[in-house]
Each structure stands twice: as structure tokens, then as C-alpha cells.
Amino acid sequence: MNRYIDAASVDGEQNEMRQVLHAKLHNGYTTDANVDYVGSIEIDQDLTDAVGLWPGERVLVVSNTSGARLETYIIAGKRGTGVISMNGAAARLIGRGEQIIVMGFEFSAKPVKPKVVLLDERNRIVEWLDGEHNDRAPASDEAVRQAPAKKSTNP
């Protein structure tokens, strides 16, 4: 798969489009996992609005708890509830109570400064990050391997 898309010529120069991170909800927690629901991830619309994600937008979801990764699309959840619900088959990969990251990407011919927020255990925004950076990364891979993992509480 080619990671670049040729774009129209601008000022006589050919531009290459790349898929880059534009939005990230970092360290949220799934409030539900419903296998019987028809697909997708439901997210509190206050959270999606904060980082510029749209209902229907394709997102990458990563579980910090299990390491599972999946792509799905967003359904707008009720504002102010903190809901982040995995639905359909995705609920078999990421269960209720798992810590997750939700990322949206866009095509761009130039670098994009993503909108990134840190969430607390109730999915409230506790910090706006100035783009994507790694200031809070553990000092080594060993620190990551020794960090306790939260157990999934699949329904």
C-alpha cells in the first residue's frame, strides 16, 4: 500500500498527500462494550467536538490495556456523559473499562498540528496538549514492561 497520494500540482510543483494525525483522545476509558449493537464506537459529542472528530469519521482505536488495535467509525454520544462505548464486533476486541486512545487522521500535503486532549478515568478533559509530543513518556521501554496493566472488565 502506497502511503502517499499524488495531489494536483500547486505553483508548478507536485505535492504528495500523506495521512497524518489530526485528532487524538488520549487515555480515555470505555464505559460500555455492546456486541449486539450495530458497529462502531460511540463517543460523547463534547469530546469529539473538542478535537475536531466528526460522526461517521473513521478512527483508529488502541487499547492501552490489551494492546488491541482496530478501525471503526464514530457515532455521536450524548453530550456531557463521558460515554465511550465499543459496539458490535469491536466490543470483542476492546471491553468495558479498558484504557484507550482514539485517533483521527487526514490527508495533507503539509504537516498538521493535531488537537490532542488527555482524559481522566471519567473521560473528562484534564489537559490540552500542544500537538503530539512525548514529554510524558517513560524513561525506557523497561518502564513500560514493568507498568501494571489494568484488567479488562468485559461484560
Among 29, 40, 63, 85, which one carries the catalytic annotation? 40
Residue 117 in grid coordinates:
486532549
**3-class DSSP state of 143:** helix
- What are the E-state strand segments in 35-153? 41-44, 58-63, 69-77, 84-87, 99-108, 115-119, 125-129
Catalytic annotation present for 73: yes
Residue given cell 505553483 in the structure block? 11
User: Do strands 125-129 and 4-6 pair parallel, antiparallel, or not at all (unpaired)?
Assistant: unpaired
Catalytic annotation present for 152: no
Give the type of residue at 91.
A
Q: CA nearest 66: which of 155, 124, 147, 152?
A: 152
Among 9, 63, 73, 140, which one carries the catalytic annotation? 73
- Where residue 72 falls (left for φ over 0; alpha for ψ -120 to 50; beta otherwise) is beta
Catalytic residues: 40, 73
